[in-house]
Amino acid sequence: MAKSDQTTTADILRPDRTDGTDAADLTSDSGRRMPTLWTRTIGELTLTYLPDAGVTMIPTRVYPASEETDWSPYRTHMTDAGHLAMGCGALLVERAGHHLLLDAGHGRISGDDPEHFQYGFEHVKDLPASLASLGVDPAALETIAFTHLHDDHTGWARPDAADHPHSLFPNARWVVGEGELEGLDPAAGPRLAGQSERTRSVADGTEIAEGVRAWALPGHTTGHTAWVLDAGDGRRIVAFGDAMHSPVQVHHPDWEVVLDHDRAEAERSRRRLVEYLSQDGVYGFGVHFADQQLGTVDGNGRWRPWNDATDAR
């Protein structure tokens, strides 16, 4: 399937959701809506987005290189008050009855004290309920792979995430990219429950499950890692974590994020990612991309959300 040279209005406006809402009843401001649970089957994979928080950001603080006027073309990604819509959550990957979780959501962070670049939170702590609605027992999950170990990605795997001392996922092993643990501040304590004995660091290119490989995209953190999923039909899906935080950044890979550890390296990783997502049959999963998490990069270098009618085979 070739890339479209042009993003259509229908592609932009189509909601990426499966909550029973009729697309005709939705307004055209797709990026303004908070994320909801959805499921897509792509080749041999069943992907389910598990929402855990919706958050609105102050765009010029998240992207300090940008100015207020830079955001006028991107109003569809913002609230009426001018805040950038984002989400937090995790991606559940199923193949042949086996489950893998990528990141672990927002967890018990209350959202009562936003950081200086945040405006506010819409909801928190939905991931356990989402797993329950799917009939997935957290104790049955054997592997959780993290793009990186910031709090909004370690969520329900943190030591304080649940009454059980081993977190919501008592039997899971943790997988992180090489260099991530070394970049942590020891004084801050462990980011994961049982971190020292349960965590495996993997090098770039390591296959951690059937058709799931690590892709080192450092810069946001020292060991930031994307996970490349082989759908078994020629298509690939890249869960790229915080290599990008918003669809807007696809068009502006030079816009660093305030939390990037190494801004020059983060930009190099973003540009590599955008180039890869521009290839035929390659899709991306942006966990923070509000309600447009699944998509690709079109011929104009812009994010095109997944469209069931054109992207399914």
Specify the residue for token string 């805040």: 83
Residues in the chain where the model's pLDDT stays below 50: 1-30
The whole-number pLDDT of residue 56 equals 87
The whole-number pLDDT of residue 256 equals 92
How many other C-beta atoms are found inside a 10 Å radius of the C-beta of residue 108? 14
Q: What is the pTM of this model?
A: 0.87
Instruction: Give the residue extent of every domain in the chain.
Output: 9-311
The whole-number pLDDT of residue 277 equals 97
Which residues have a Cβ under 8 Å from the Cβ of 245 and sit 6 or more positions away?
62, 86, 257, 286, 288, 289
User: Backbone phi, then psi, for 155, in 5-degree steps?
Assistant: 30, -105
CA dist 114 and 126 (Å) reads 19
The whole-number pLDDT of residue 35 equals 81
The whole-number pLDDT of residue 78 equals 84
The whole-number pLDDT of residue 167 equals 85
The whole-number pLDDT of residue 207 equals 98
- Residue 9 burial by Cβ neighbours in a 10 Å radius (0-12, 13-18, 19+): exposed
The whole-number pLDDT of residue 152 equals 92
Q: Does 9-311 carry CATH code 3.60.15.10? A: yes
The whole-number pLDDT of residue 109 equals 77
